[in-house]
Structure 1
């Protein structure tokens, strides 16, 4: 194999790693309510079709902020990532996701969107699980890979009543979505992140 072919294959492998990390940064940003991190994975003129929201990124971020104001816990798991390059600077990316989110009683009637049983008690949270795929058009501009267009393809949604707090114990290390997550604090301590 020629050195030119080797360099090209290494460059493509590096592109794949950057694109996969883009997806992981999206998941971390949503799960920690770090909206600047979410915005950073999209091109400024990107389009997102998330089902209930279809539009530009400013509107998407606003919709996330509104919805996640009542989501106590969120975890996105990204899997099965297939990247197909159509040019050196663009690719179609299909990645599977599983999302777990606990919607607080403060969401009121909006909890019915996550759980169809009637009625929910006033003090019940809803633990939801969404399973689906992201279909992303990603492009590299000025040397940076970002999402240009996203469509969320849903496969399954399940919701069940639960209590706020998720039955976690006080002596466990608990996640946080307000900038004080144990990992976020460690990143700040190591100089890998900034307080928000």
Structure 2
């Protein structure tokens, strides 16, 4: 009995991990403007409801990417607390999020809310079937210079980018910067 209980818990943990990775693909795909990664979080017949948009994930990506490209030079869709209700091959999740955008006018926009999703496991893969976005607050954050932007060679390992030139895509990740310890100088 104990082994059966332990195996059931392990299966639940694996499901939660697969779901979390799915949710993360959405955020990373949006922030890196990686359409394929974004869409990999959704079933082909999924529905998205985000702000004024209601429709397919592919149409949502096109709308949101154009909006973010026009308005911000960088975005971060941070995922916070995730609650799971898994019943067989259907899961309902509530994921708190914190959105931060560095706007083209050098201001910072910050907003928070929750993604409320129904995910389905089809062919062994968890993906979003329905997403609704509950935006609960928004504001502007004080703008400060980006730290260390004036350091020579700071981008030798790659500069942040909203495409696959971002250093997070580099395989294998390597260091191209010269060793330097400011405390030792």
State the TM bucket, normalised to the shorter chain: 0.7 to 0.9
**1: CA distance, partners of 2:24 / 2:45:** 21
Q: Which residue of 1 aligns with 2:181?
A: none
**Per-residue CA distance 1:121-178 (angstroms, 9 max, x = gap):** xxx3431111000000011000000000001001111136859xx5451324542113
Asked whether 1:170 is paired with 2:150, we answer yes
- Please provide the CA RMSD for this pair: 2.0
Q: Which residue of 2 aligns with 1:113?
A: none
Asked whether 1:180 is paired with 2:165, we answer yes
**Per-residue CA distance 1:56-97 (angstroms, 9 max, x = gap):** 112111112211222211112111110011x21111100100
Shift of 1:30: 1.0
Stretches of structure 2 lacking an aligned partner (at least 5 in a row) = 174-185
Asked whether 1:189 is paired with 2:169, we answer no
1:125·1:161 contact (CA, 8 Å) conserved in 2? no
Q: Which residue of 1 aligns with 2:48?
A: 48
Shift of 1:7: 2.0
Stretches of structure 1 lacking an aligned partner (at least 5 in a row) = 105-123, 191-196
Divergent runs of 4+, >6 A: none
1:31·1:177 contact (CA, 8 Å) conserved in 2? yes
Q: Which residue of 2 aligns with 1:117?
A: none
Asked whether 1:78 is paired with 2:79, we answer yes
Q: Which residue of 2 aligns with 1:151?
A: 132
**2: CA distance, partners of 1:24 / 1:65:** 17
Secondary structure in 1 aligned to 2:6? helix
**2: CA distance, partners of 1:12 / 1:162:** 42
Secondary structure in 2 aligned to 1:7? helix
Distance 1:3 1:65, change over 3 A: same
What's the TM-score once normalised by structure 1's chain length? 0.77
Q: Which residue of 2 aligns with 1:115?
A: none
Q: Which has the higher helix share?
A: 1
Q: Which residue of 1 aligns with 2:179?
A: none
Secondary structure in 1 aligned to 2:37? helix
